[in-house]
Amino acid sequence: MYNPLKVGHLSGKFTTTHPAIDMSWVGDNVVDPPIHAWRDGVVVQSAFEYLGGNVMAILHEVPGADYDYLTRYAHLKSRGKVIKDKVLGDTIIGVGGHTGIRSDGRPMPNHLHFEIWKIPKGYVFTTINGHGADRTKYAVDPQLLMSSNMRGEGFRMVPITLSNTAKAKILAAKLQCRDLPGLASIKFPGYLAQGASYPFYGSVVVDGYKWAELRVNNRIVYAAMADKTTGAAWIEVTDPTKEIIKTVEIIKEVERPIDVFGNLGDLHIVIQRGVK
């Protein structure tokens, strides 16, 4: 995962009404910053929109998983790719700018509006659903899926506050972590520290391994939870929210069972409801 803007700061957070983050370079001695692809993918939108100005969207397939990712980059000064172009992660896809119209009528400041959607496999992006309910439905907080802290490229991050997050303790020595679940994903250099604990968001089974979704240095990484052959645990999960989740589970069981470990979206919703 690559940071689409290399130098700048967070100027707008992910909220229910703004399912994206805004990244500004105003005050950072940057002019016409290049905008980079978040990771390998195929361009599925390159168009001018009334609100978003020059907008690009890229579909990122996640081999072996039951979901893919889609990223959108708005208010670009110029677009450097067309639909169906294949791009590698970190490729320059355009130049940051201030195109588009703000809904409140004020001038658009220089910034990148950046969305990440976690979409079901086979999802077809169209400009119509790009503006509508699908964004709200699929958008996830891009801050959790960015690598700026680890790359240290001058990005001023606003810290993410987490409460009541389950923790994953690393039991194994030399446990590798990856940018996505599955053996085909990119391995990060180095290993997770044995005995350390990291926030745990859930797990997914890919390539016969159960992969934990962890937050390490403000980025999301994946690590195998157990030896596929012997079943020996490499990661142990402790969940301080268990009581809360259990309570909500009983209430919601009437509608449908909650797959706490299989669905990141549900887990977040459950925690929020429990705390409030």
**List of residues contacting Zn ion (CB under 5 A):** 20, 22, 113
Are 89 and 40 spatial neighbours (Cβ–Cβ below 8 Å)?
A: yes
Closest CB 94 distance from Zn ion, rounded Å: 16
- Give residue 45's identity as a one-letter amino acid code: Q
In the complex, minimum distance from the CB of residue 115 to Zn ion, in angstroms, rounded to a whole number: 8
Which CB sits closer to Zn ion, 99 or 203?
Answer: 99
DSSP code, position 144: G
The residue number whose beta carbon is nearest to Zn ion equals: 113
Decide whether 20 or 87 has the Cβ nearer to Zn ion. 20
SS3 state at 158? coil
Cβ proximity to Zn ion, 103 vs 163, nearer residue:
103
Rounded to a whole number of angstroms, the minimum distance from the CB of residue 46 to Zn ion is 19
Q: How far apart are CA 22 and CA 31, in angstroms?
A: 17
Distance CA 9, CA 5 (A): 9
Query: CB within 8 A of 133, min separation 6: which ones?
Result: none
Closest distance of CB 224 from Zn ion, Å: 36
Residue 20 or 206 having the CB closest to Zn ion: 20
Question: Which of these, 231, 27, 60, 244, lies nearest to 140 by C-alpha position?
Answer: 60
